[in-house]
Amino acid sequence: MEEILKAIEERDCRKVATLLYHKVDELGDEELKEVLERAEKLALECDDFELYKLVVYYFRELLGVDRLEKFEEIARERDSFEVKFELADLYYLTGELEKSLEIYRELLEEETEKGRKENIAKVYYAMALVHEELQEYEKALELMEKAEKIHRELGNEEEALKVAVHRAYVLFESGETYGAKAMLAGLLPKVLDRKDLLVEVHLSFEEIFEEYENYDVALQECLYALIHAKGTDYEDVAFGSLMDVLWQLFLEDNFETVYLNMGMFSEALPEMADFFEAVKGLALYKDGKIEAEEMEKLVEKVKEKRLLDLLEILGEAEL
């Protein structure tokens, strides 16, 4: 909490948003309320509506406090692209997809009239995410192609690559698995210096292999993602994907795949070796290969509560 409050005092809106995203689950209700109230004040003073959107979202989802009406009022008063764009994204986050699309369509018309191509590309991509959520994959792919094309015309190669990586994943969602794999493979050498996109490529591969129950390869992709995500904002995302795969393996009683693969995680990420050895021990115990006492000794080496909680969750996994 102190780190977030310090960032608020420093008026560093980007840092506040990042810290909120990563640490919001660590805060109790009273702490969260204080942090969100201060962050809300900062966001409005700095006209940072990306941060404001995040604050309104957490108020609603975590505290049951609805600030949406105030956001809508600000959007009407300001009538600016930035405010309306973030409001549309908030509707997307809260599942009000038709409202989100309604604002995006309005923005697309306005920005097309003004000839603001970069904003048009942003809207196309945002609309694509809504259609993806609606499982309208053909429409999502069409809009992503339009966004990617505009970014390339404007020379925004990084943004074009970001859209292309996600487009490959949507292609997989649409059922075009081999086309998606080929597209991701083509993008891989282009994103070697972009850790965020490199992580996304590996996690996309992970989901493809998990879908086809090729768990050995899925775990390898998790490992690559974790290695490239170290020290970045994507570290939690990569770790979360690994936990999802492990959870599925424990659910399916596929303990052998777990304990045979944990060694590579321990070697590649020695700072977390105790955790991975404990996961291995838990799988061995579940598979009847070691006694409870041996497994418990491995678990005792793990000191971080968050990791202990995850071990408990894995241990309780049942179909």
Q: Are 229 and 268 in contact (CB under 8 A)?
A: no
CATH number of the domain at 159, please. Answer: 1.25.40.10
pLDDT per residue as tens digits for the range 175-189: 999 999 999 999 999
SS3 79: coil
pLDDT (0 to 100) of residue 2: 84
Q: Taking 80 as the threshold, does the pLDDT of residue 277 lie above it?
A: yes
Domain check: are 291 and 212 in the same one? Answer: yes
Domain check: are 182 and 90 in the same one? Answer: yes
Domain check: are 158 and 198 in the same one? Answer: no
Instruction: Check residue 270 and report its DSSP letter.
Output: G
Q: What's the predicted TM-score (pTM) here?
A: 0.89
Q: Taking 80 as the threshold, does the pLDDT of residue 1 lie above it?
A: no
The neighbour count for residue 206, using CB atoms within 10 Å, is 25
Diameter over CA atoms, the chain: 71
pLDDT (0 to 100) of residue 27: 87
pLDDT (0 to 100) of residue 23: 81
> Given phi > 0 = left and psi -120 to 50 = alpha, else beta, which region is 48?
beta
pLDDT (0 to 100) of residue 319: 43
Mean pLDDT lowest among 12-26, 51-65, 89-103, 146-160: 12-26
Whether 74 maps to a domain, the answer reads no
How many whole angstroms separate alpha carbon 258 and alpha carbon 177? Answer: 25
pLDDT per residue as tens digits for the range 50-103: 999 999 999 999 999 999 999 999 999 998 999 999 999 999 999 999 999 999
Whether 308 maps to a domain, the answer reads yes
Whether 73 maps to a domain, the answer reads no
* End-of-domain residue from the set 156, 188, 220: 188
Over the chain, what is the mean pLDDT? Answer: 95
* End-of-domain residue from the set 173, 188, 203: 188
Range of the domain at 24: 1-66
pLDDT (0 to 100) of residue 215: 97
SS3 66: coil
Domain check: are 255 and 165 in the same one? Answer: no
Q: Are 81 and 107 in contact (CB under 8 A)?
A: yes
Domain check: are 196 and 290 in the same one? Answer: yes
Domain check: are 130 and 172 in the same one? Answer: yes
CATH number of the domain at 222, please. Answer: 1.25.40
Domain check: are 102 and 122 in the same one? Answer: yes
Q: Taking 70 as the threshold, does the pLDDT of residue 165 lie above it?
A: yes
Q: Are 203 and 235 in contact (CB under 8 A)?
A: no
pLDDT per residue as tens digits for the range 209-236: 999 999 999 999 999 999 999 988 889 8
Domain check: are 214 and 101 in the same one? Answer: no
Q: Taking 70 as the threshold, does the pLDDT of residue 318 lie above it?
A: no
Altogether, the residues listed in the chain come to a count of 319
* End-of-domain residue from the set 188, 220, 241: 188
pLDDT (0 to 100) of residue 231: 84
Domain check: are 177 and 218 in the same one? Answer: no
Q: How many domains does the chain have?
A: 3
Contacts of 19 (CB under 8 A, 6+ apart): 3, 4, 7
pLDDT per residue as tens digits for the range 94-115: 999 999 999 999 999 999 999 9
Domain check: are 16 and 91 in the same one? Answer: no
Whether 213 maps to a domain, the answer reads yes
Domain check: are 198 and 318 in the same one? Answer: yes
Angle between helical axes of 117-133 and 157-173 (0-180°, round to 10): 20
Whether 128 maps to a domain, the answer reads yes
Percent of the chain whose pLDDT exceeds 90: 91
Whether 72 maps to a domain, the answer reads no
How many whole angstroms separate alpha carbon 18 and alpha carbon 242? Answer: 22
Whether 222 maps to a domain, the answer reads yes
The dihedrals phi and psi of 195, each to the nearest 5 degrees, come to -60, -40
How many whole angstroms separate alpha carbon 131 and alpha carbon 103? Answer: 14
Q: Taking 70 as the threshold, does the pLDDT of residue 274 lie above it?
A: yes
Domain check: are 236 and 281 in the same one? Answer: yes
* Mean pLDDT to the nearest integer, 190-198: 94
Find the DSSP H helices in 154-189: 157-173, 177-187
